[in-house]
Amino acid sequence: MAAPSEAAERRPFGRRFLADPSRLFQHNAWDNVEWSEEQEASAKSKVEENSSQLLPQDKQEEYEVNAKRYWDDFYKIHENGFFKDRHWLFTEFPELAPNRNLSQNGVSVDRLSNKEESNNEGLGSCENGRCSLGTRAENQLNVGKSTPKICREDLAAEKYSELNQTGGDYPGSSASYRILEVGCGAGNTVFPILQTNNDPGLFVYCCDFSTTAVDLVQNNVEYNPSRCFAFVHDLCKDQSPFPMPDESLDVVILIFVLSAILPEKMQCIINRLSRLLKPGGMILLRDYGRYDLAQLRFKKGQCLSDNFYVRGDGTRVYFFTQDELNHLFTTAGLEKIQNLVDRRLQVNRGKQVTMYRVWIQCKYRKPHAPQL
């Protein structure tokens, strides 16, 4: 599964098992699962098979041009019922709530660390890249009926330009701890942060290039403009400014987001985000790893390029290695704090189906300026 240079950076906690199908149905899930050579060879073979036939170039360009529409359609269909709230974030990324007690709300660290297992993050009820509404996630966010308060990209650009010219305030300018989530979707990361982090100096920005997704966030009863600013933003447009200045953020969050972007544009995006960080600020990432179940399920004719696929609904996904992500972040001038692979074995007891998930988790920090 992992190259030798990656092998030392596996998830440092949890139960470890060598995957053994004879004992799979005794439990619902295992984390930090070791793959046998046969499993890895089988996964590699499946990827070679499903990527042997690439989509024509004109079709690939069509998916790129219409990417926003496909994600708008996704959120129109699923609204906020596709993912559960990501309360596991505070175990994996304590930087999001530095003063939080890990036993808060009576939930143990071990249970939080396995929260994602029950969510099937990024897979949901999809089969072969096609999503259905067969199951809705529990604990859906309440969506109000108020008039949308969207800050569209053109308006955001105009307002930000005015701020730069006049030296005026920007949203969250008085905050002492600023977090930006990129690709916020329906708010399943933003709202747990606002609910959990009670720091009065906290301000959370969140953006998505799906207008429908930002509508869902801003119409949520938990949305508080005094603590949060949601806006539409296309990361791939260099000329599209952010509503905050460079070197103003403590944390940038990328949760299953970078994988949805054309691989050739990823480096430019990481470069842009790194400029927003204060010295000492961090980018936190969790995304799909190479040979994840979702990658192995693709059929021929859904591959765009190496390890990059299009789902049945038109959305796209890339599957990373640790070395690829390390290169992106270090090229942007960030230093590695964490880069690990998280392999999990999930079992659907009812269907007697085993699912091997592979995710990569990273933390990269902007260095402090050298002292003279």
94 Cβ partners below 8 Å, 6+ apart?
100, 102
Q: Kindly report the average pLDDT of the chain as a whole number.
A: 76
Terminal Cα distance for the chain, rounded:
44
Is 80 exceeded by the pLDDT of residue 361? yes
pTM of the model: 0.76
What does the pLDDT read at residue 175?
96
Structural domains of the chain ordered from first start: 57-96+153-366 (3.40.50.150)
Q: Between these two residues, 33 and 30, which has the higher pLDDT value?
A: 33
Report the number of secondary-structure helices (H) and strands (E) in the chain: 12, 11
For residue 268, the 8-state DSSP code is H
265 Cβ partners below 8 Å, 6+ apart?
235, 236
Q: What pLDDT digit, counting tens, does each position of 248-274 carry?
A: 999 999 999 999 999 999 999 999 999
> Band of the pLDDT at 44, cuts 50, 70, 90?
very high
Report the distance separating Cα 63 and Cα 271, nearest Å: 24
What is the SS3 assignment for 325? helix
For residue 299, the 8-state DSSP code is P
What does the pLDDT read at residue 338?
97
Report the distance separating Cα 84 and Cα 247, nearest Å: 32
Nearest to 252 by CA among 232, 238, 268, 271: 271
What does the pLDDT read at residue 104?
45
What does the pLDDT read at residue 315?
85
How is 206-258 classified by DSSP, letter by letter? EEES-HHHHHHHHTBTT--TTTEEEEE--TT-TT---SS-TT-EEEEEEES-G
What pairing do the DSSP bridges indicate for beta strands 303-305 and 277-288? Answer: unpaired
Q: What pLDDT digit, counting tens, does each position of 5-31 carry?
A: 444 454 543 444 444 444 444 446 566
352 Cβ partners below 8 Å, 6+ apart?
25
> Band of the pLDDT at 114, cuts 50, 70, 90?
very low
Structure tokens at 12: 């440092």
Report the distance separating Cα 328 and Cα 207, nearest Å: 21
What average pLDDT does range 58-74 have in this prediction?
73
What does the pLDDT read at residue 77?
64
